[in-house]
Amino acid sequence: MNSRRFLITGGSQGIGAALVKQARAAGHQVVFTGRNDTHIQTTARETGAYGIRADVSADADNQRMVDECGAKMGGVDVLINNAAFGYTAEIGTIDMARMRGLFATNVFGAVDLTNRIVPQMQARGDGDIVNIASTSGMKGAKGATVYAGSKWAMRGITQCWQADLRPYGIRVVCICPSEVQTNWMGKTGRNNPNKLYADDIAATIMAGLDMPRRVLWTELAVFANNPWKED
Ligand SMILES: NC(=O)c1ccc[n+]([C@@H]2O[C@H](COP(=O)([O-])OP(=O)(O)OC[C@H]3O[C@@H](n4cnc5c(N)ncnc54)[C@H](OP(=O)(O)O)[C@@H]3O)[C@@H](O)[C@H]2O)c1
């Protein structure tokens, strides 16, 4: 793949940070976002990528991201909608303010940012958009209304964007990881070395981007092959 210009939301830690590292190692320009200054500075220092403190749920921050990508790289070729968080509550106990806040990040933030970036991709007739959903968005589960609902939404939205953007040569893919050993909801490690690592998801994304441009992976679920294995 020729050198391309990446914008990765939530690149300060976890899957996003692993992707920042792999994209930089492959010679790409990378701007990434997060909210925690320490994490942003660490990832920026380790990779040479440019980190921005920006909240994807804030419209003004999203416009600032687009403007900074224009100033630093001249635009965006690859947008990774990765920033998200979880919230577990069974129906009957859901805090609607928390649900609205989660959708503001996991769904509306991704739509708002993409809405601001797509016109430049359409004008060039080129671009890649990767939405990070989850296997939680493929099967309902106890207590999962809010988080799983947001990930089901991103899977459906991905299909709509494919219909909108394939005629422009823009690829949109949805990646659905199973459990990954990140700091997700404070569960670093999860005490099981046979589960997925952030690097596994980053490598999957890079592999999809590396496919010839005539090839579109519409959606990909990624599981650990044998998480029950005991070491
Ligand atoms: N880990 C899993 O088991 C798993 C499984 C399936 C899917 N996923 C999905 O994979 C993606 C990454 O998850 P992860 O495990 O890498 O999580 P993580 O380690 O908690 O990292 C989340 C990243 O998103 C950023 N973020 C959160 N809210 C944000 C906001 N409003 N604006 C900007 N950045 C924000 C965080 O930045 P700050 O910390 O600086 O705020 C952090 O960089 C998410 O979409 C998640 O739903 C994860």
* pLDDT tens digit sequence for 162-210: 999 999 999 999 999 999 998 877 665 556 888 999 999 999 999 999 9
Give the Cβ contact number of residue 106 at 10 Å. 28
Answer yes or no: is 33 within a domain. yes
Answer yes or no: is 103 within a domain. yes
Ligand 1 neighbourhood includes 15 CB (under 6 angstroms) = yes
What's the domain count of the chain?
1
DSSP state of 49: P
Q: How far apart are CA 219 and CA 222, in angstroms?
A: 10
What pLDDT is stored for residue 191 in this prediction? 64
Ligand 1 neighbourhood includes 33 CB (under 6 angstroms) = yes
Record the pTM. Answer: 0.97
Ligand 1 neighbourhood includes 181 CB (under 6 angstroms) = no
Q: Choose among 3, 21, 25, 24: nearest CA to 12.
A: 21
Using most ligand atoms within 8 A of CB, pick from 64, 174, 180, 201 the residue to mutate for ligand 1. 180
Answer yes or no: is 227 within a domain. no
Q: How far apart are CA 121 and CA 151, in angstroms?
A: 24
Answer yes or no: is 180 within a domain. yes
CATH at 156: 3.40.50.720
How many A from CA of 184 to the centre of ligand 1? 7
Domain that holds residue 45: 5-222
Answer yes or no: is 60 within a domain. yes
The percentage of residues in the chain with a pLDDT greater than 70, rounded to a whole number, is 97
Strands, DSSP E only, in the chain? 5-8, 29-34, 50-53, 78-81, 127-132, 170-177, 219-222
